[in-house]
């Protein structure tokens, strides 16, 4: 077994590490205060090709495999969780449906501008009455000749307000719902009847926009269906496939955030003096550092292994859910422990751990809560 990352990936990892230390870390306070990722940072992400890192080279992307993608998300997330979300919908939940199930024309039309970051794409599944139970969505898409007319509201949509394109899940057959009655559409900003509603004010992830999307008699042609006519009613399956990969990359991001929380704890433990010595010399503090490092290694190891398994073409639904469950919960413990090592200073905004602690919380919620990950794992165990 070879646990070394391939040479090209190691080079990319080093380049991103440098970018994180030189550009992203210093920008963290500005992102937090302005609740937006500055345009020069976005431009830097574009230049590194990150908006299309997992999109195949034939469409202008970098064509990284899942392991490569996980390594990049891990490094970027050391600096800032919201910067990751700025380009992750282009690689993941937003574009994957088009990549997996789109027609050749749709891939040609949509993927190149997504891959170079000229356009941002969001993914709209969640609704006021359909979160964990995604099959309960009510946004309707009713056929009218060669068009479909959409009505409904989507909520909590990452990049929803800035996206030029959105992958939207809607009900085309209310009798069948998730079993053949949900269809995926790709809809462009500016389409009459499609508008952005409320912008959420969040506990953390400042800089990552979360918006409501509204569809009122929004008329779109049949060729807006991802995969065309043949894919009518098959959108729920597309969405679940997309989420399988999202769970793995989110686990990688959790590992990166946890690594940063540990780095900050180690730094503080060396500097802070109490009872005449650095607190890092107290065994209770050493125990916390050792526990954090051990859990991070466990999380990172499972992410790399499952990413590799996926890249070999193996199904990883259960394993991806395990990674998301373990790594997001692990991040919660590590962020909490790191804050404890910082004492009162950890509670102050001037210390980065305060932000990481808040940013960490949502990883146990979005792209499927911890409870839903457990249900996915158990279902696979019982039915496998
Ligand atoms: C910052 C942010 C960004 C997001 N971005 C997007 C996006 O880009 N696109 C998108 O479509 N969605 C997005 N979401 C939505 C996200 O995926 C949902 O919030 C998530 O799936 C949970 O749904 P919910 O909030 O409705 O919680 P609920 O489903 O109402 O769950 C409430 C609680 O009940 C538990 N629960 C529910 N069902 C069960 C069950 N069967 N057994 C045990 N416990 C259960 C849950 O685990 C949770 O603890 C985002 C959310 C946030 C917070």
Q: What is the pLDDT of residues 224-273, one digit of tens each?
A: 999 999 999 999 999 998 998 899 999 999 999 999 999 999 999 999 99
pTM for the full predicted model: 0.96
- Asked if residue 188 lies in contact with residue 342, where contact means CB atoms within 8 angstroms, the answer is no
| Number of structural domains the chain divides into | 3
Residue 179 lies in a domain: yes
User: Of 233, 259, 293, which closes a domain?
Assistant: 233
d(C-alpha 361, C-alpha 291), whole Å: 20
Domain coverage including residue 187: 121-233
Catalytic-residue membership of 281: no
Q: Which residue has the CA at smallest separation from atom 16 of ligand 1?
A: 366
Residues 246, 364, single domain; the answer is: yes
- Asked if residue 203 lies in contact with residue 186, where contact means CB atoms within 8 angstroms, the answer is no
Angle at 104 between CA 99 and CA 109, to 5 degrees: 80
d(C-alpha 116, C-alpha 61), whole Å: 7
Residues 127, 197, single domain; the answer is: yes
Q: φ and ψ at 197, to 5 degrees?
A: -100, -130
Please tell me whether residue 115 adopts helix, strand or coil conformation.
helix
- Per-residue pLDDT of 127-171, as tens digits, reads 999 999 999 999 999 999 999 999 999 999 999 999 999 999 999
Quick check: CB of 123 below 6 Å from ligand 1? yes
Residues 345, 269, single domain; the answer is: yes
Quick check: CB of 368 below 6 Å from ligand 1? yes
User: Of 208, 233, 258, which closes a domain?
Assistant: 233
Percent of the chain with pLDDT over 70: 100
Residue 2 lies in a domain: no
Residue 376 lies in a domain: yes
Ligand 1 midpoint to CA 43 (Å): 31
Read off the pLDDT band of 80 (50, 70, 90): confident
Residue 371 lies in a domain: yes
């Amino acid at each position: 077994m070879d646990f070394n990352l391939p040479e090209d990936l190691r080079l990319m990892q080093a380049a991103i590490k440098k970018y994180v230390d030189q550009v992203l870390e210093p920008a963290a306070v500005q992102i937090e205060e302005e609740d937006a990722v500055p345009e020069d940072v976005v431009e830097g992400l574009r230049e590194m090709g990150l908006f299309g890192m997992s999109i195949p080279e034939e469409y202008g992307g970098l064509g990284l495999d899942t392991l490569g993608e996980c390594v990049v998300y891990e490094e970027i997330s050391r600096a800032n969780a919201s910067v990751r979300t700025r380009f992750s919908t282009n690689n993941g939940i937003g574009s994957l449906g088009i990549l997996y199930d789109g027609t050749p024309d749709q891939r040609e039309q949509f993927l190149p501008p997504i891959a170079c970051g000229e356009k941002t794409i969001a993914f709209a599944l969640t609704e006021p009455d359909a979160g964990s139970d995604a099959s309960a969505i009510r946004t309707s898409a009713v056929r009218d000749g060669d068009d479909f007319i959409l009505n409904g509201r989507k909520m909590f949509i990452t990049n929803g307000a800035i996206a030029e394109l959105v992958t939207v899940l809607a009900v085309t057959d209310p009798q069948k719902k998730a079993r053949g009655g949900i269809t995926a559409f790709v809809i462009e900003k500016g389409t009459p009847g499609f508008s952005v509603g409320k912008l959420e004010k969040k506990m953390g992830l400042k800089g990552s926009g979360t918006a409501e999307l509204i569809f009122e008699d929004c008329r779109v042609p049949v060729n807006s269906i991802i995969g065309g006519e043949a894919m009518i009613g098959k959108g729920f399956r597309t969405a679940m496939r997309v989420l399988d990969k999202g769970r793995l990359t989110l686990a990688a991001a959790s590992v990166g955030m946890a690594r940063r929380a540990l780095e900050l704890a180690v730094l503080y433990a060396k500097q802070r003096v109490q009872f005449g010595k650095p607190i890092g010399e107290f065994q209770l503090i050493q125990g916390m550092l050792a526990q954090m490092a051990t859990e991070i290694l466990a999380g990172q190891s499972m992410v790399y292994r499952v990413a590799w398994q996926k890249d070999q073409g193996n199904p990883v639904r259960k394993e991806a859910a395990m990674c998301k469950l373990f790594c997001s919960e692990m991040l919660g413990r590590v962020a909490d422990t790191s804050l404890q090592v910082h004492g009162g200073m950890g509670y102050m905004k001037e210390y980065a751990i305060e932000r990481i602690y808040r940013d960490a919380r949502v990883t146990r919620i979005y792209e499927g809560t911890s409870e839903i990950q457990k249900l996915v794992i158990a279902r696979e165990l019982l039915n496998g």
